[in-house]
Chain A
Amino acid sequence: GAGVSQSPRYKVAKRGQDVALRCDPISGHVSLFWYQQALGQGPEFLTYFQNEAQLDKSGLPSDRFFAERPEGSVSTLKIQRTQQEDSAVYLCASSLVGNIYGYTFGSGTRLTVV
């Protein structure tokens, strides 16, 4: 596609519910990042994929967070047993490897845990 597509755009989950957030990167983009943006804050790194390989997951806040990119294109961020502190916008970004001009970001998924 022309840009990075994320779905759903908004998600309301009851505390304890599992959620899955989808990111469809630009076709051919090898690198894919997930970021978490709390209200009034800058985005914070969660995890990085190069193709299907998850090369860095140091930013995932707990073992309730899990990300995958099985075929090296679409990625899913899953949060198990959601808690109120998980409420945030989850941003996905993709780029060509070696693209020094930054990344193309999606519009994000706004997750609200009630």
Chain B
Amino acid sequence: AQKVTQAQTEISVVEKEDVTLDCVYETRDTTYYLFWYKQPPSGELVFLIRRNSFDEQNEISGRYSWNFQKSTSSFNFTITASQVVDSAVYFCALKAPTQAGTALIFGKGTTLSVSS
């Protein structure tokens, strides 16, 4: 069965701290995609990144970086020098298999609170 686990329910940090959000997934498919979404208080899900199961390169985008480790079925997300605007709920999601029409399986989310 497909499953995504985000063990951290809530994280609170002070501005400029680095923070890592954990994501562990389960799938028997050999080809899959992993995603991170941000959900601000307004409610919409904002796409942050997609990772292909065949590509284990880590990725950095500004203050955001992602560490994909197939060996541990993890896809962790790090925010460097956090800012108040980063406060939101963050969801990790799995799409397996990768065909169009396959729904995303979401974790329960991690609520990040960044205080000034």
* Interface residues in chain A, defined as those with a beta carbon under 8 Å from any beta carbon in chain B: 3, 31, 33, 35, 40-45, 48, 50, 55-56, 59, 89, 91, 93, 97-108, 110
Given A42-B91, A45-B103, A56-B101, A105–B44 Cβ distance below 8 Å? yes
B44 and A107 form a contact (CB under 8 A): yes
Instruction: Tell me how far the C-beta of A10 lies from the nearest C-beta in chain B, rounded to whole angstroms.
Output: 10
- Which residues of chain B are within 8 angstroms of A41 by Cβ–Cβ distance? 108-109
Given the complex of chains A and B, what is the CA–CA distance between A104 and B104 in angstroms? 12
Binding site for A on B (CB under 8 A): 4, 33, 35, 37, 42-47, 50, 52, 91, 93, 98, 100-101, 103-109
A-B contact count (CB 8 A): 64
Residue of B44, B47, B52, B107 touching A102 (CB-CB under 8 A): B47
Let me know if A102 and B43 touch, CB within 8 A. Answer: no
Separation of A56 and B100 alpha carbons in the complex (Å):
12
Shortest Cβ gap from B12 to chain A (Å): 17
B106 touches A42 (CB 8 A): yes
A46 to chain B: closest residue by CB: B103
A108 touches B43 (CB 8 A): yes
A108 touches B44 (CB 8 A): yes
Q: Which residue of B lies closest to A96 (CB)?
A: B100
- CB-CB nearest in chain A for B100: A97
The 3 closest A-B pairs by CB, nearest first: A42-B106, A45-B103, A105-B45
Please indicate the chain A residues that have their CB under 8 angstroms from the CB of B104 in the complex. 33, 43, 45, 102-103
Closest B residue by C-beta to A47:
B103
A95 to chain B, nearest CB (A): 8
With a 10 A CB-CB cut-off, give which of B35, B47, B103 has the most chain A CB atoms.
B103
Does A59 contact B103, Cβ atoms closer than 8 Å? yes
Q: In whole Å, how far is B98's beta carbon from the nearest beta carbon of chain A?
A: 7
State in angstroms the CA–CA spacing of A107 and B93 once bound together.
18
For A55, the closest partner residue in chain B by CB is: B101
List of A residues within 8 angstroms of B103 by Cβ? 33, 35, 45, 48, 56, 59
